[in-house]
């Protein structure tokens, strides 16, 4: 079900490659020393940048599918003024050059000197664990860096190269596990940040991880994993929640034995006798084969499923800021249900297949399907609410702890319509909040209104405040109350009229 993690057709929401527009005007930045050697970036408009910085050894050859290894040192000064290739993938919206040698990160830091170390915000991209990159245009950290924070984006291995289990891999691993390579890459990047970010003025003890969709699910995993303990102090997850199994049927998709069996079957289908033969195959051949990337509860990165870890309070104890968008269902329904045939006849069976139980009369009344048109509209709303309920479920587990606060948002704003027809992420759709988080409205040539600009300023303010203190509140911002399980503590991100129109939410029909 990993492919259900949202085929983020980011081309439809402006996730194009960031051709660094300021390169011609940028001047050389100070050279700094990091693991591996000296790097030199650039500086322009009050922001220093370091792009394409290696945080691990290239995972190629014998290192394909192994846990990330330390950076290989280089001689002289390494230029850090251009993005690296992105990780090999099958995502159609990514047009950047690709390579298996892709474990690099990018940094935006204020150029102005500071007597205090600055908080660090680490963005983990989405894309269903099969696509995306840290250099997509929407993730340009320039405007956030001007709010006195340091922004880091990163690449991590994807698809069959980043989420692959096999008995041979388990046998050769010193930890006797396999899979989750992409998440281990994220941890390696966080460890690099912890050890090196002070070189550009960052505070290694004030790191916030944040991500959307599969990046948001990555955040949930990192908060739960003992391997990430101490590498960050706050966590933001946007529309990422599928990693929390809510029943035994869901938990099976994360099973180590099933994952290894799937990997062995993949090898046989490719005519490979074992992992050595698979490593000898070109990446192009591996990527042409069908593969559904998924994370695995393998006893190392994850010792138990996320729901059990959060319910028993064995996650890393950090405050979280989490939420979902009001129109995600239309984007996510085809992936979640693995079909686009949402008819009245199939309606109840589709709900039962997803929930692993017969839908109640109250649920069928709330999401009626007397006609095919009504069934389609109900599926869209059901999917949005189901997504929100899973976020609410996670936050409720967090809020039950004695000291770790949760802040929950509901993004209800319908952005100004694009100049061309919108195909994905429309209105408050999947990923619609990202341009507001990074305060990057100007990347999209829409006739943005005052409501859009105000909301972008507010959301960027909330997110950076949270990174600085663990509390999103600050001067000039509407008060955001910590989540206590009630609707009144879900913070609506939108105009007052939109907040009234889209709320309150009622998740009672989803309770088992």
Active-site residue identified among 430, 433, 491, 498: 430
Residue position matching structure tokens 């009234």:
500
Question: Which one of the listed residues 84, 165, 213, 225 is annotated catalytic?
Answer: 213
3-state SS track over 342-358: CCCCCHHHHHHHHHCCC
List Cβ neighbours of 417 (8 Å cut-off, separation of 6 or more).
446
Task: Print the SS3 string covering 261-303.
Answer: HHHHHHHHHCCCCCHHHHHHCCHHHHHHCCCCCCCCECCCCCC
Closest among 268, 218, 285 to 64, alpha carbons compared: 285
CA atoms in the 13 A half-sphere facing the CB of 282: 3
Give burial (CB, 10 Å; 0-12/13-18/19+) of 339: middle
**213 is known as an active-site residue:** yes
511 is catalytic: no
Q: Residue 328: enclosing H or E segment and its boundaries?
A: helix 328-337
H or E stretch covering 492: strand 490-493
Whole-number Å distance between alpha carbons of 124 and 19:
20
Strand stretches in 397-479, DSSP E:
406-411
Question: CA-to-CA distance for 392 and 390, rounded, in angstroms?
Answer: 5
Residues in the chain: 512
Pseudo-torsion of CA 233, 456, 329, 508, nearest 10°?
A: 60
| Residue 147: both structure tokens together | 């709010």
Q: Is the peptide bond before 504 cis (omega within 30 degrees of 0)?
A: yes
**Exactly one of 328, 335, 433, 498 is catalytic; which is it?**
328
Q: Please state, in angstroms and rounded to a whole number, the distance separating the CA atoms of residues 289 and 271.
A: 12
Concerning whether 225 is annotated as a catalytic residue, the answer is: no
Q: How far apart are CA 366 and CA 362, in angstroms?
A: 6
**What positions carry a catalytic annotation?**
213, 328, 430
């Amino acid at each position: 079900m990993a492919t259900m993690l949202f085929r983020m057709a980011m081309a439809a929401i402006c996730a194009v490659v960031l051709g660094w527009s300021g390169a011609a005007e940028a001047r050389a930045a100070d050279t700094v020393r990091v693991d591996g050697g000296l790097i030199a970036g650039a500086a322009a408009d009050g922001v220093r940048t370091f792009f394409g910085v290696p945080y691990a050894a290239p995972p190629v050859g014998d290192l394909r599918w192994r846990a990330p290894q330390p950076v290989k040192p280089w001689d002289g000064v390494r230029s850090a003024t251009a993005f690296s290739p992105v990780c090999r993938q099958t995502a159609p919206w990514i047009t950047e050059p690709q390579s298996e040698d892709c474990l690099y990160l990018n940094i935006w830091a204020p150029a102005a000197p500071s007597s205090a170390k600055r908080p660090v915000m680490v963005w983990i991209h989405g894309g269903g664990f099969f696509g995306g990159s840290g250099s997509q245009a929407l993730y340009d950290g320039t405007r956030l860096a001007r709010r006195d924070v340091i922004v880091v984006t990163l690449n991590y291995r994807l698809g069959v190269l980043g989420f692959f289990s096999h008995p041979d891999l388990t046998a050769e691993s010193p930890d006797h596990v396999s899979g989750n390579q992409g998440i281990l890459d994220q941890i390696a990047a966080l460890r690099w940040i912890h050890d090196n970010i002070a070189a550009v003025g960052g505070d290694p003890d004030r790191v916030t991880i944040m991500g959307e969709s599969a990046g948001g699910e990555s955040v949930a995993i990192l908060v739960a994993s003992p391997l990430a303990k101490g590498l960050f102090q706050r966590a933001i997850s946007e529309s990422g929640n599928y990693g929390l199994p809510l029943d035994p049927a869901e938990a099976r998709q994360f099973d180590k034995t099933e994952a290894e069996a799937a990997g062995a079957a993949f090898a046989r289908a490719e005519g490979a006798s074992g992992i050595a033969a698979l490593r000898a195959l070109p990446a192009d051949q591996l990527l042409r084969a069908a593969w559904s990337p998924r994370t695995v509860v393998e006893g190392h990165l994850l010792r138990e499923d996320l729901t059990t870890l959060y319910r028993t309070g064995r996650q890393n104890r950090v405050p979280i800021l989490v939420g979902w968008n009001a129109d995600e269902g239309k984007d996510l329904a085809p992936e979640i249900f693995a079909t686009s045939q949402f008819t009245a006849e199939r309606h109840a069976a589709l709900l039962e297949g997803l929930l692993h139980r017969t839908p109640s009369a109250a649920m069928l009344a709330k999401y009626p399907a007397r006609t095919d048109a009504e069934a389609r509209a109900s599926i869209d709303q059901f999917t949005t609410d189901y997504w929100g309920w899973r976020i609410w479920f996670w936050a409720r587990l967090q809020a039950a702890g004695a000291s770790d606060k949760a802040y929950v948002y509901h993004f209800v704003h319908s952005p100004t319509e694009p100049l061309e027809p919108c195909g994905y992420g429309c209105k408050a759709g999947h990923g619609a909040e990202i341009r507001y988080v990074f305060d990057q409205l100007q990347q999209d040539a829409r006739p943005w209104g005052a409501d859009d600009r105000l909301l972008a300023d507010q959301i960027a303010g909330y997110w950076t405040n949270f990174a600085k203190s663990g509390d999103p509140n600050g001067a000039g911002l509407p008060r955001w109350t910590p989540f206590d399980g009630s609707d009144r503590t879900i913070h609506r991100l939108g105009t007052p009229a939109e907040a009234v129109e889209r709320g309150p939410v009622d998740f009672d029909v989803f309770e088992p």
